[in-house]
Amino acid sequence: MPRLCSLLAALFVVLAAWCARASSVPAEAVVAYVFSENNILQPGQIDARALTRINYAFANIANGRMVAGFAGDPQNFSFLASLKQQNPDLTVLVSVGGWLWSTNFSDMALTLQSRAVFIESVMNFLSQYKLDGLDIDWEYPGMPGAGHPFRSVDKQNFTLLLKELRARFIAETAKTHKRLYLTFAAGASDEFLANTEMKKAQQYVDTVNLMAYDYYEPGSDLVTGNHAPLFTNPSDPKKISAADSVAAFEKAGVPAAKIILGMPFYGHTWAQVPNTNHGLFQPGKPIPNAYAPYSVIVSTMLDRGYTRFWDEKASVPYLYNAEKQIFVSYEDPQSIAAKCEYVDAHHLGGVMFWEYSNDPSATLLHAIDDSLQKHAPGKR
């Protein structure tokens, strides 16, 4: 035991040094969540040269260990690794958890022993599939999320989990000389910040992936709104925006250069929305298939009975069909460009989006690439 304690003490000294060096990260990363579910990724499906990182979603947690989420994951990991032939700087991480698979996080993170079991499984997983790191998508510490178990001590245990993962990553890198990345997906809400020790937690990760979307959702909001506004529209009843969330995370102790601004490659739709203010900030009701991938919006809605409007104050578009009384909040190339400009102006770490397959034409990805082209390649 004394030998183990000495080893841990040494690792934490190295960890402290790493934290000091990792106070900033290269600007303007482009991070794509890839959620293939039971599908096998195909050649030509992903433009690796337009990305700096892929977060493959999702691994699950079973019996306290990280496990593959889908039968085709091994084949997909191999495919993603092959993309490095096109872009040697590309990193491939696995994301564990997500909205529906965060059930076992609280139990796993509860004790030093349970975290150690999980971390050992992470190391085996990364080694087996030759991955570059881990993205923690715990939705959410100290909160039920989709009805998951949670505890007040999740707040401290989330930090400890990240700290212990980082220590293990550093030890592994010392042996293999291969850098391992650690990131997490963050809810863009004051409640998420209240249930995490953000100033402490951010020390142990390379980036914080800020999910700056779903501010309005048909299932929970009976009033329409911009679900991914860049700025706050004074008329917005909830007074929310990505810019406000960024400011809140910076105030909580996250350096701007570690914040990756999330963008949605999908929209939300409401029905029975009265034709007032083109449906914006009006009463509405959920509609079947309320989640609308960008490809569906372009192919079935835009200029097909739905009129596009631009919220100048929020810097986002929306659609309204007066005949059907349907309102759609979504992202498009213009709003993408505005967010990329914001990222550059505020020296954020880059951009992230959910999810790659929602835009197979890569229209939105190309908008990101075009918007960041003016910056030096070394920053990408």
Q: According to the model, what pLDDT value does residue 373 have?
A: 76
Mean pLDDT of 274-281: 98
pLDDT in tens, 317-327: 999 999 999 99
Question: Does pLDDT of 23 surpass 50?
Answer: no
Question: Does pLDDT of 265 surpass 50?
Answer: yes
Domain ranges within the chain, ordered by starting residue: 2-265+332-379
Q: What is the DSSP letter of 225?
A: -
pLDDT in tens, 160-176: 999 999 999 999 999 99
Q: How far is it between the farthest Cα atoms of the chain?
A: 74
Q: According to the model, what pLDDT value does residue 220 have?
A: 95
Phi-psi region of 274 (alpha: psi -120 to 50; beta: other; left: phi over 0): beta
**Cβ atoms within 10 Å of 74's Cβ, excluding its own:** 12
Least confident of 22-26, 35-39, 106-110, 296-300: 22-26
Q: How confident is the model at residue 374 (pLDDT cuts 50, 70, 90)?
A: low
Least confident of 9-18, 144-153, 265-274, 336-345: 9-18
Mean pLDDT of 265-273: 98
CATH label, 2-265+332-379, candidates 3.20.20.80, 3.40.50.720, 3.90.1170.50, 3.30.70.20: 3.20.20.80
Q: 176 — phi, psi (to 5°)?
A: -100, -20
Report the chain's mean pLDDT, rounded to a whole number. Answer: 93
Question: Does pLDDT of 3 surpass 70?
Answer: no
Under 8 Å between Cβ of 208 and 248: no
The DSSP result for 1-22, as a single string, is -HHHHHHHHHHHHHHHHHHHHT
pLDDT in tens, 185-210: 999 999 999 999 999 999 999 999 99
Q: According to the model, what pLDDT value does residue 28 have?
A: 83
Under 8 Å between Cβ of 116 and 170: no
pTM score: 0.92
Q: How confident is the model at residue 87 (pLDDT cuts 50, 70, 90)?
A: very high
